[in-house]
């Protein structure tokens, strides 16, 4: 097979790169190979040393040394390449030590095998502010979507350059590296698009979404029938207290607050006009809830129907673990380790009850802070059983249908195959481990938080911009998990000294809780402890508290 030649093109200094097969040689009888695989050709009667190298566009040929230009027209008689990739060439009357030359704006690197462009005085990884690639002299190709400017010196946040007035929701924050807006006081969100009213985040500020909207820092726009600085006053003439207030969305159906027999209740509405909701969904959840009786499970009161809607009436608790964790992160609430362990044990006891039911245990499948409610005494109760499944050794549901929130889903839940029934309960153990981590470290988002304070607290770095799919792949295939910032009791003591000084006497307990969390989120469900083992360990930790 011909490697080069047979053509009519000459690789002159004016024609730097050509197809090797189109090249025209004149007695190319000297051939050698550089350490990087490039091929040198001594084109003897053309008085040139030429090189074939791999480029993005395939193999290309160029002249790297012209003997005639440098030393006169003398026939090349021999050629040797040294370990340093310099070239020794002999002619009829002399021996020359040659080093390949680069064009203006390029520099010879990689053991004399490659000419790299120079951008604004810098080369390689140091060029283009370290945020792009120098593609030719003084021409940077910036990391797409992250930086712009002639030297890639200007960061981009969500498609808007840092020097534009509309960046970070019109200067509600400062655009920094890695597509990250650092919000000013009074704003939050990825793009600082959400104002904070009276130190409360969206959903709680201005009396909740039914009463009003936070439109700027500490400024509410109240909906009809509400007034007051924080929309805290109801205008009774325009709206009855008996009307429902939306509490949130469940795995299947929406949840509202209403009155039933003089009692405030939560009503889950199944709208049969919604193609994603069926009569079967309603029946399954209603029947399941009607059988559950436990202090750490939401109370079920009954059902009601209309021609196009079905209703499940249950206990109303408007405080969720999601809100608790958010308040902890924003330092609006303080909980001791003892209080956190009590909450964690409440949740574990609820899971243990579900997993021990006879003849068929129940797997929740959608455990997350949003589905854990708290009563006025701080007791935790599991709710939203729309994705729950009953299992037995004889009959196994395909647990991978109707999946829950991916942050809390175990790796096996993403598998197209049915979950092994022997270890099916382990999916709840994994979800529980993420919740324990969030409560212990007081962080609402286990993976994609942006705060530099949290990076410092967890001794970790920001993820590069990743999609939901990429993050899921990292969790499932690379065993990626939230950061636990200590690996030994000594490290834990140092960490507590900085971040949990009030719990220094419980350093050993905090370290053991971190180890338990790691056991519960192991990739292999067979290696995760059962909920009975988890409860035993948690009770032991509670007894250790100082």
198 lies in some domain: no
518 lies in some domain: yes
On whether the CB atoms of residues 460 and 486 are closer than 8 A, the answer is no
Label each residue of 255-277 as H, E or C. Answer: EEEEEECCEEEEEEEEECCCCCC
Q: Are residues 509 and 378 in the same domain?
A: yes
Q: Are residues 378 and 285 in the same domain?
A: no
504 lies in some domain: yes
For residues 115 and 107, give the distance between their C-alpha atoms in angstroms, rounded to a whole number: 5
On whether the CB atoms of residues 119 and 151 are closer than 8 A, the answer is yes
Residue 248, H or E segment: strand 245-249
Cis peptide before 19 (omega within 30 of 0): no
Question: What is the rounded radius of gyration, in angstroms, for the C-alpha atoms of the chain?
Answer: 34
For residues 265 and 257, give the distance between their C-alpha atoms in angstroms, rounded to a whole number: 6
On whether the CB atoms of residues 452 and 388 are closer than 8 A, the answer is no
179: left (phi over 0), alpha (psi -120 to 50) or beta: left
Residue 343, H or E segment: helix 337-355
Select from 84, 101, 118 the last residue of a domain.
Answer: 101
Q: Are residues 346 and 267 in the same domain?
A: no
377 lies in some domain: yes
Question: For the stretch 34-54, what's the b/e string if a residue is b when 16 or more beta carbons lie within 10 angstroms of its beta carbon?
Answer: beeebbbbbbbebbbbbbbbe
Question: For the stretch 334-351, what's the b/e string if a residue is b when 16 or more beta carbons lie within 10 angstroms of its beta carbon?
Answer: ebebeebbbbbbbbbbbb
Instruction: Give the relative orientation of helices 426-441 and 531-544 as an angle to the nearest 10 degrees.
Output: 30
Q: Which two tokens stand for residue 474?
A: 């990292």
| 112: CB partners within 8 A, 6+ apart | 84, 85, 86, 99, 100
Q: What CATH number has the domain bearing residue 272?
A: 3.30.200.20
289 lies in some domain: yes
Single pTM value for the model: 0.55
- SS3 state of residue 543: helix
Dihedral, CA of residue 188, residue 192, residue 197 and residue 201, to nearest 10: -30
Q: What CATH number has the domain bearing residue 515?
A: 1.10.510.10
Q: Are residues 372 and 500 in the same domain?
A: yes
For residues 98 and 112, give the distance between their C-alpha atoms in angstroms, rounded to a whole number: 11
Q: Which two tokens stand for residue 454?
A: 């949290």
Q: Measuring CA to CA, which residue among 364, 358, 214 is closest to residue 289?
A: 364
Q: Are residues 370 and 238 in the same domain?
A: no
Query: How many domains are contained in the chain?
Result: 3
3 lies in some domain: no
Q: Are residues 311 and 340 in the same domain?
A: no
Which residues of the chain are under the pLDDT cut of 70? Answer: 10-16, 100-101, 201-204, 225-229, 231-253, 260-261, 387, 389-405, 416-419
Alpha helices in 11-145, H assignment, sequence order:
67-71
Q: Are residues 297 and 432 in the same domain?
A: no
Q: Measuring CA to CA, which residue among 151, 125, 119 is closest to residue 138?
A: 119
Select from 101, 133, 162 the last residue of a domain.
Answer: 101
DSSP 197: B
First to last CA, the chain: 80
106 lies in some domain: no
**pLDDT score, position 533:** 98
Q: Measuring CA to CA, which residue among 528, 436, 513, 423 is closest to residue 482?
A: 436
Q: Are residues 244 and 341 in the same domain?
A: no
Q: Are residues 434 and 402 in the same domain?
A: yes
498: left (phi over 0), alpha (psi -120 to 50) or beta: alpha
**pLDDT score, position 240:** 31
Q: What is the distance, to the nearest Å, from the Cα of residue 291 to the centroid of all Cα atoms in its chain?
A: 38
On whether the CB atoms of residues 9 and 21 are closer than 8 A, the answer is no
**pLDDT score, position 489:** 97
Residue 59, H or E segment: strand 58-66
521 lies in some domain: yes
Select from 316, 339, 360 the last residue of a domain.
Answer: 316
On whether the CB atoms of residues 140 and 152 are closer than 8 A, the answer is yes
**pLDDT score, position 347:** 98
Alpha helices in 89-145, H assignment, sequence order:
none
Strand partners, 136: 139
Q: Measuring CA to CA, which residue among 435, 433, 449, 313 is closest to residue 380?
A: 435
Q: Are residues 287 and 355 in the same domain?
A: no
User: What domain range is 77 assigned to?
Assistant: 30-101
């Amino acid at each position: 097979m011909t490697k080069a030649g047979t053509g009519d093109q000459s690789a002159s200094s004016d024609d730097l790169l050509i197809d090797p097969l189109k090249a025209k040689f004149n007695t190319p009888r000297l051939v050698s190979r550089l350490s990087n695989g490039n091929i040198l050709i001594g084109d003897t009667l053309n008085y040139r040393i030429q090189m074939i190298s791999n480029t993005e566009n395939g193999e290309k040929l160029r002249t790297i040394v012209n003997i005639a230009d440098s030393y006169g027209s003398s026939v090349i008689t021999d050629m040797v390449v040294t370990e340093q990739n310099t070239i020794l060439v002999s002619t009829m009357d002399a021996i020359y030590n040659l080093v390949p030359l680069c064009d203006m704006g390029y520099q010879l690197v990689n053991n004399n095998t490659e000419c790299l462009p120079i951008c604004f005085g810098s080369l390689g990884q140091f060029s283009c502010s370290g945020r792009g690639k120098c593609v030719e002299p003084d021409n940077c190709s910036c990391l797409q979507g992250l930086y712009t400017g002639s030297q890639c010196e200007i960061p981009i946040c969500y498609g808007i350059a840092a020097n534009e007035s509309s960046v970070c929701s019109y200067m509600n924050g400062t655009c920094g590296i890695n597509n990250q807006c650092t919000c000013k006081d009074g704003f939050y969100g990825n793009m600082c698009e959400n104002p904070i009213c009276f130190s409360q985040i969206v959903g709680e500020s201005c009396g909740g979404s039914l009463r009003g909207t936070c439109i700027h820092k500490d400024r509410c726009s109240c909906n009809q029938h509400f007034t007051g600085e924080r929309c805290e006053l109801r205008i009774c003439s325009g709206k009855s207290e008996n009307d429902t207030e939306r509490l949130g969305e469940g795995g299947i159906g929406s949840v509202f607050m209403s009155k039933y027999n003089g009692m405030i209740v939560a009503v889950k509405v199944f709208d049969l006009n919604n193609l994603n909701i069926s009569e079967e969904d309603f029946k399954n959840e209603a029947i399941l809830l009607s059988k559950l009786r436990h202090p750490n499970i939401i109370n079920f009161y009954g059902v009601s129907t209309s021609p196009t809607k079905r209703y499940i009436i249950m206990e109303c608790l408007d405080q969720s673990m999601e809100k608790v964790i958010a308040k902890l992160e924003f330092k609006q609430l303080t909980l001791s380790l003892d209080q956190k362990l009590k909450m964690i044990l409440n949740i574990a006891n609820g899971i243990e009850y579900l997993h021990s039911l006879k003849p068929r245990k129940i797997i929740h499948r959608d455990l997350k802070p949003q589905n854990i409610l708290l009563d006025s005494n701080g007791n935790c109760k599991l709710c939203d059983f729309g994705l729950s499944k009953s299992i037995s050794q004889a009959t196994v549901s395909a647990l991978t249908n109707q999946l829950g929130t991916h942050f809390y889903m175990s790796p096996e839940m993403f598998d197209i195959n049915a979950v092994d029934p022997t270890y099916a309960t382990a999916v709840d153990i994994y979800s529980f481990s993420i919740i324990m981590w969030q409560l212990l470290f007081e962080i609402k988002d286990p993976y994609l938080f942006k705060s530099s304070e949290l990076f410092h607290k967890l001794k970790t770095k920001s993820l590069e911009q990743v999609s939901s799919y990429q993050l899921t792949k990292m969790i499932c295939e690379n065993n990626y998990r939230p950061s636990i910032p200590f690996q030994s009791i000594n490290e834990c003591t140092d960490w507590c000294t900085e971040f949990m000084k009030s719990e220094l006497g419980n350093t050993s307990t905090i370290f053991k809780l971190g180890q338990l969390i790691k056991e519960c989120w192991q990739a292999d469900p067979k290696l995760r402890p059962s909920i009975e083992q988890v409860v035993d360990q948690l009770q032991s930790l509670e007894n250790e508290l100082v």
